[in-house]
Amino acid sequence: MIEVRNLQKSFGRRAVLQDVSFDVAAGEVACLIGPSGSGKSTILRCINGLESHDGGSITVDGVPVTPQSLPTIRASVGMVFQRFNLFPHRTVLQNLIEGPVHVLNQPVADASGRAMALLAKVGMTDHSGAYPRQLSGGQQQRVGIARALAMEPRAILLDEPTSALDPERVGEVLKVMRDLAEGGMTMIIVTHEIAFAREVADKIFFVDGGVIAEQGPAADLLSNPRAERTRLFLSRVRHPL
């Protein structure tokens, strides 16, 4: 469903992505892991056009990502941010219906009904009238996921969704993501939660230095990493001291 071919991206003279290729099929969960600055987030941001790419191609459901196709792409691919990026001047419910009402032109009543169902799904029904600043990080991120889902996307991209959370809040967000995976949502997740990736991901891409150094089924790659740098990275993540 999402096909990335020979993707290249530079910021100025610095090549961030050298030659990245991978496929994610409908219903699959793919996790991108790897050291900071390796280009994981940039890959996600290229898929929905928050960054333009310099070379190679990306297609979503057969539609190539170009400046002209961005409205189509963004309507079918949702995004969840590390720092939640909820609209601070709107309530939880208003955050959810913002896209459906003002991008997809749905009637407010219809969008609100669907939004309340989504809030129930992420356990935030009681907070529909709250403003983001009144919520904990974990609650904000659950709203962030619900906001992406409110657009009824074919896939969602999650950029380190638990990295900005207090440790005791990580679980509630992972649970929502696990439910989504079980519901068959196509997801690409940039994450440092290796245990979560092993449990939920169908595939794992290990990104290092702007290339995919190794890819494979989750259990396989995590248990028997073939590349030396994958092994090194995994041992550092598992044994930080």
Q: Which is nearer to other proteins, 148 or 221 (CB)?
A: 148
Of 12-20, 71-79, 186-194, 225-233: span binding other proteins (CB under 8 A): 71-79
Q: Which is nearer to other proteins, 18 or 85 (CB)?
A: 85
* Residues 115, 96 contacting (CB under 8 angstroms): yes
141 binds other proteins (CB under 8 A): no
38-57: which residues touch other proteins (CB under 8 A)?
48, 50
| Residue from the set 29, 46, 151, 177 that interacts with other proteins by CB under 8 A | 151
* CA-closest candidate to residue 238, choices 207, 199, 194: 194
| Residue from the set 55, 83, 110, 113 that interacts with other proteins by CB under 8 A | 83
| Residue from the set 99, 138, 161, 225 that interacts with other proteins by CB under 8 A | 99
87 binds other proteins (CB under 8 A): yes
| Residue from the set 16, 79, 174, 204 that interacts with other proteins by CB under 8 A | 79
Of 14-22, 58-66, 86-94, 169-177: span binding other proteins (CB under 8 A): 86-94
189 binds other proteins (CB under 8 A): no
Q: Give the span between the Cα atoms of 188 and 156, in whole angstroms.
A: 7
78 binds other proteins (CB under 8 A): yes
The CA-atom distances, in angstroms, between 179 and each of 84, 138, 167, 183, 215 are 19, 16, 20, 6, 24
- Torsion, Cα 186 191 194 199, to 10 degrees, reads -20
92 binds other proteins (CB under 8 A): no
74 binds other proteins (CB under 8 A): yes
Of 24-32, 57-65, 80-88, 228-236: span binding other proteins (CB under 8 A): 80-88
| Residue from the set 1, 75, 116, 234 that interacts with other proteins by CB under 8 A | 75
Q: Give the span between the Cα atoms of 93 and 91, in whole angstroms.
A: 5
| Residue from the set 12, 88, 167, 240 that interacts with other proteins by CB under 8 A | 88
* Residues 218, 203 contacting (CB under 8 angstroms): yes
Residues 6+ apart with CB under 8 A from 100: 106, 110, 111, 114, 115, 150, 151
Q: Give the span between the Cα atoms of 53 and 17, in whole angstroms.
A: 9
Q: Looking up tokens 């990275």, which residue turns up?
A: 233
For 87, the 3-state DSSP assignment is: coil
CB atoms within 10 A of CB 12: 6
| Residue from the set 26, 37, 102, 232 that interacts with other proteins by CB under 8 A | 102
Q: 167: which 2 tokens?
A: 């440790």
Note the residues at the interface with other proteins (CB under 8 A). 48, 50, 70-71, 74-75, 78-79, 81, 83, 85-89, 98-99, 102-104, 147, 151
